[in-house]
Amino acid sequence: MTLQACADLVRRGDPDRFLATMAAPPPARRILFPLYAFNLEVARAPWMVSEPMIAEMRLQFWRDVVEEMGQGAAPRAHEVAAPLAEALPASAAPQLDALIAARRWDIYKDAFEDQAHFDAYLDATSGNLAWVAAQALGADAAAEGPIRAMAFAAGIAALLRAVPELEARNRIPLLDGTPDGVRALARRGLEKWHEGRAAQSRIARPARAALLALWRTGPILKAAQSEPARVAGGHLEDSEFARRARLLKAQLTGRI
In this structure, the answer to whether residues 130 and 228 fall within a common structural domain is yes
What does the radius of gyration of the chain's CA atoms come to, in whole angstroms? Answer: 17
d(CA 183, CA 186): 5
How many of the other CB atoms lie within 10 Å of CB of 64? 14
pTM: 0.96
Q: Is residue 155 part of a domain?
A: yes
From 90, 86, 77, select the one nearest 34 (Cα to Cα). 86
The reported pLDDT for the residue numbered 68 is 96
d(CA 208, CA 256): 9
In this structure, the answer to whether residues 141 and 249 fall within a common structural domain is yes
- pLDDT tens across 155-209, in order? 999 999 999 999 999 999 999 999 999 999 999 999 999 999 999 999 999 999 9
In angstroms, the first-to-last Cα distance of the chain is: 32
Q: Is residue 238 part of a domain?
A: yes
Contact 211, 130 (CB under 8 A): yes
Percent of the chain that is helix, strand, coil (3-state, to 5): 75, 0, 25
d(CA 45, CA 144): 28
Using pLDDT thresholds of 50, 70 and 90, give the confidence band for residue 2. Answer: confident
Q: Is residue 82 part of a domain?
A: yes
d(CA 108, CA 196): 32
Residue 111, pLDDT > 80, answer yes
In this structure, the answer to whether residues 167 and 82 fall within a common structural domain is no
In this structure, the answer to whether residues 78 and 149 fall within a common structural domain is no
In this structure, the answer to whether residues 240 and 153 fall within a common structural domain is yes
In this structure, the answer to whether residues 81 and 123 fall within a common structural domain is no
d(CA 48, CA 202): 39
In this structure, the answer to whether residues 204 and 79 fall within a common structural domain is no
What is the count of structural domains for the chain? 2
User: For residue 217, what are the domain limits?
Assistant: 109-256
Q: 216: exposed, middle or buried (C-beta count within 10 Å: 0-12, 13-18, 19+)?
A: buried
